[in-house]
Structure 1
């Protein structure tokens, strides 16, 4: 299927590894021009080689609104347009209620949420021109809870609320805004977590057997396929949606 993303300029925060890396690779295959915002130099260079130079890698962290504004300015300087934003960067940092502090909670919210707003805010003039699309990568933890990670889950819940709020606010400009909620996705970060257990293979098998569809983890490429579809004109009448790509993990009976 031709998704008509040829030469569309798409920003992806955390776009070098894991889910973000899979989205970047998928966009390259579609002929789009990814702007990868990610400090990972090695993976970024691999994606540059894959794209044969038709890509921009900004090895920056988005700690402030000024950092986000700099990203937008550089993307426009290089390519003259922005057609979409994928908000993806974040970390499940374990700042909980019992084992945390108000200061740590505030920092967790800032690190996982503020750049979602700032990137879109500064990209908005370009998105208006091009009737662009925004995809927010959230998490099933926003609706199920996880325990011990108040900051991350609060940010993920806010991302879902902002998805609906922005979808309403941006209707006059025909800018579509949607969110994807991954559950158990086998990324390098997830693998590192699995390896922290005494019996990692047993732990992985235990989790996988609770995923109703296929008894397997979701692949990053499966999240990427949804994100790329939502960025395309094939999803021209989809906005304000929270879409689960999780093999039924969140909503189906896990005893199935």
Structure 2
């Protein structure tokens, strides 16, 4: 029970990595505030946590909208009195090189992936600063460290999140608030499976190509990232500050011969 009685807010936890992390947080004894734009998926995550004996509440909100975020934080404080851990997990993908990307597509990716982290942190931080205690985990990606074809908007957003993480840590260390980032490789989520099915004539060939990119020889699973998130959310990582944590199967620092 590494997160016993910690109040944890996880954005984008209606599916994929967010849901897997929410379930793990619940198993570790946390009070889990499930957040997602999709109410059906969000409620299902909370239901599964409670079904496993955990404690969970679903609050719908759009992470890119200031009023929506403020209402989410307000309701969280009204129910639990504080937020101990914020996991800025919500995000969307963007496919295309610069010349292929329309301005509105670029803006949408930046809005959710960067503005969402900014807004959630902006409105959660004052409570943490007042208590002089807090823990923020930002979802970056190994793509912040490597070049990958036709991912211009996504890589820009995740690079921004990694840089923001380091800057936040400097600003909020005096308040005993830790800020770290997760940098996953390609994780086999429902989103990725759907993307492969829609984007390639033979999804199996595309999947095999993705597998070969990683020294592990396979894609990661949401549970792999969830385990890393538990570590960062717990006191076991108390000496990690402003750090990138890679869960990438060896993409960044390895290369197959």
Alignment TM-score, normalising by the size of structure 1: 0.92
In the alignment, what sits opposite 1:206? 209
Q: Secondary structure at the match of 2:90?
A: coil
Specify every segment of 5 or more residues in structure 1 that has no aligned partner in the other structure, as ranges.
none
**Distance in 2 between residues matched to 1:67 and 1:80, nearest whole Å:** 19
Moved over 4 A (4+): none
SS of equivalent residue, structure 2 residue 99: coil
Equivalent in the alignment of 2:47: 49
SS of the residue corresponding to residue 110 of structure 2 reads helix
Q: CA deviation at 1:204?
A: 1.3
1:217 aligns to 2:255 (yes or no): no
TM-score (norm 2): 0.91
Alignment partner, residue 37 of structure 2: 39
Q: List per-residue Cα deviations over 1:159-204 (Å, max 9, x = no partner).
A: 0001100111111111111101111100000111122222222321
Q: CA RMSD in A?
A: 1.7
SS of corresponding position for 2:210 = helix
Rounded to whole Å, the distance in 1 between the matches of 2:71 and 2:232 is 26
Contact 2:165-2:179 at 8 Å conserved across structures: yes
Is 2:8–2:33's contact at 8 Å kept on the other side of the alignment?
Answer: yes
Secondary structure of 1:98's aligned partner: helix
Distance in 1, Cα, partners of 2:172 & 2:73:
19
Q: Contact 2:15–2:45 at 8 Å: present in 1 too?
A: no
Task: Give the structure 1 partner of residue 8 of structure 2.
Answer: 10
State how 1:176-191 maps to structure 2 within 5 Å: 176-191=178-193
Q: Which residue of 2 aligns with 1:69?
A: 70
**Are the equivalent residues in 1 in contact too, given 2:132–2:175 (CA < 8 A)?**
no
Q: 1:40 to 1:71 in 2, by over 3 A?
A: same
Residue number in structure 1 paired with 2:241: 239
